[in-house]
Structure 1
């Protein structure tokens, strides 16, 4: 590295070798990566520092863009850590103070490293320079990575009563020092054994409930064990090694001389635990409390997240305004603490869809209309508000498609459109639910009576399946559906359906007998029989027989309004019209025989 006083120009980030001139060279770095220099006098407000570049190393890019994509070597002491240049300064230095600069660089093509592995037999140790290996009794750093070309010095040190027998692996010989050049992966072993003729003793270290459970160490007579083995036990603190398992014997330390085989025991005491309280506050109310051991976290005992209408729970925080530290199940507790629920007002996102209840694709969950409403199956417009019969309509189509009956599995889209239609044309206020309930059926019945000439009378005169044209059906079937569609779209060409093939035909004799009985009573009150009869002919009839289009074939069940009628094994009365026809045929036959006799 090189340093210079304030006012010294940058000789260039990537010149090879020392800059010379006003620049003073120091270093190179030692095995720990440090290069140190002392400056005895100051000049100006800063000291400049730079790296002495070497051949084959990555150049400084000088990239100052955002983001910095061209990462390279860097040298910094002050504030330009991201400029990737080889020129920085220590501002306003003071004599006697210590300042640090950091530089990083690497050979072009990257740095190659190799692994060094060490092991021992017997009682002894292997250490290394540069540091990294410290392997043997109670020392477990037996593996280290070193850069290619690094010289590593290994030293073998025998324990008490032991001698070094020699190296194995990539080291050889009996010298306690071995030097390796890291030009590949290396592995070494140091062997130790007892010195012949030396009196040794075994010290057995009993874990006394701890781990490891037992460790044997061999030492020469009069020597001590240093370092002592390390043991652990959950929930307990280690106190000492003692010659008695209950701690009533003598303390055994790393300076106790060993003069015989001996067993010593780990002495334990329960870990002293301090507990703290975590208080969870929601608004002004204590939501929950938890007791936590010092240095531990709440973990799985974290309370369930609170709820608040119209708000989303963000989390717990050490400040009620959420500007403190976040508290989670993993936060380490080191004292009593109060945390607060932090909320964010919830804004319900809009649900887009068709919001018009009379549309075929009406979405009752939609809160914002997206213009997708369709009013016919083919996508044409057929509403939604309806039109006055006879009024010109630019574009419309079929409004209702399907059969609707109370208690049936009705199409909710069709029912919604029916409910909207009835509210518009009958002045009702039915909720648009898509459910064909009794309230909807009642309003539909009123509609059928209002338009009985178009809806109910055809079932009396054409079908002959019912008797009273003032009795509504409550079904949406052929004539009802036809008339609703014509009201919604007068330009449609929908003819009256052919109802003549519908069975069974109604037996209206009892109905007419009751009607005629009422007419006789009316005549006795001064009303003309003829007038009553005419009125009955005009206004009395049967109700619309409703049911799916596919009903009425001979092998299908016929839906009959009114009381149920069993058709099997039932005697039917002969209708009056049939009797009249029979009389006419008999009279005609008699006339024919008379005329034939006269010819003779």
Structure 2
């Protein structure tokens, strides 16, 4: 037994239920030394406790003996089974395990959680005591997942609609995409990046990125041909003839226009 106190002697009794296993006399305000684990046929020793109900483990390193004290041995039957549950704290679910007394928990595959990195299993909900998977299971309990937050990343893809290629960007969650240099397309002028394939909503590069997105280029024709944006309409000149003689011409007629009100 560890010593260092006064002259007064106290008795520490190690008991199993009402039966004394051993007694130790020590100085008051000293620390008692943990004895060898007792044995009991058909049972597994499960530790020393400060109460007869065996709910509070006795702390040999930090508990001074200030009065005559009983310390209780806990035993569990060899054939008893316990349930170990996993609280993933918002991560993917992990099934509970039924463990025979004295056996070990099988460490499950790590759970997952968006924008978080799994940081281990803990015995307490405050996440202060890591669980040792090499220890025997001698009661039912819950393990708690610890997470370390990490920023998610998203991909911003640029569809240049037939223009020069623009590299995709990887952007951290909540941050902004960098507006790239304008792409080029023969016969067209670049008219901006749009968040929809219909080229209705122009993209605001001051907005935060919180998902994978594709931006589409809009183009304006420089004078003919179409695709990728508004196109300047092609105009035609219509000639009116009578008996192979031209008697009128009308310019500026666009495709699809009715000639009814254009007749001279």
Q: Please tell me the TM-score bracket, short chain as reference.
A: 0.3 to 0.5
- Normalising by structure 2, report the TM-score: 0.39
Bigger relative CO (Cα 8 Å, ≥ 6 apart): 2
TM-score, reference length from structure 1: 0.20
Structure with larger Rg: 1
**Which one has the bigger strand percentage?**
2
